[in-house]
């Protein structure tokens, strides 16, 4: 003897799966497949987003290097120190 399985409709009604007509079973199954696809798409999007965010010092350095290369630059082209503390910098006086 198998245990009864119940399906909850969108209005909250619980019905025994064995009592569902074929059309209702087919529509419920399609809904489950759509939900699985939606969850898989969200998981893939999250994985892509996680991949795009550098994690760790070496990853950030590699990411920064890739950005420089995309701009056609090298570290030698950079005229600033990325560790520079802007709060302690006083710009030089420029006479015009």
Tens of pLDDT, residue by residue over 42-72, are 888 777 766 666 667 777 788 778 877 877 7
pTM for this prediction: 0.46
Containing 52, the helix (H) or strand (E) segment is helix 22-52
Helices (H) and strands (E) in the chain, counts: 2, 2
CA angle 5, 29, 42 (to 5 degrees): 110
Residue recorded with tokens 């090298």: 74
Residue listed under structure tokens 């489950």: 32
């Amino acid at each position: 003897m198998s245990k009864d399985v119940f399906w909850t409709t969108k209005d909250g009604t619980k019905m025994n799966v064995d009592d569902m007509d074929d059309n209702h079973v087919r529509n419920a199954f399609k809904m489950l497949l759509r939900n699985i696809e939606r969850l898989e798409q969200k998981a893939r999007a999250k994985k892509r987003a996680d991949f795009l965010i550098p994690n760790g010092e070496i990853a950030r350095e590699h990411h920064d290097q890739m950005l420089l290369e995309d701009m056609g630059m090298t570290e030698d082209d950079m005229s600033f120190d990325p560790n520079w503390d802007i709060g302690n910098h006083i710009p030089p006086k420029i006479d015009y």
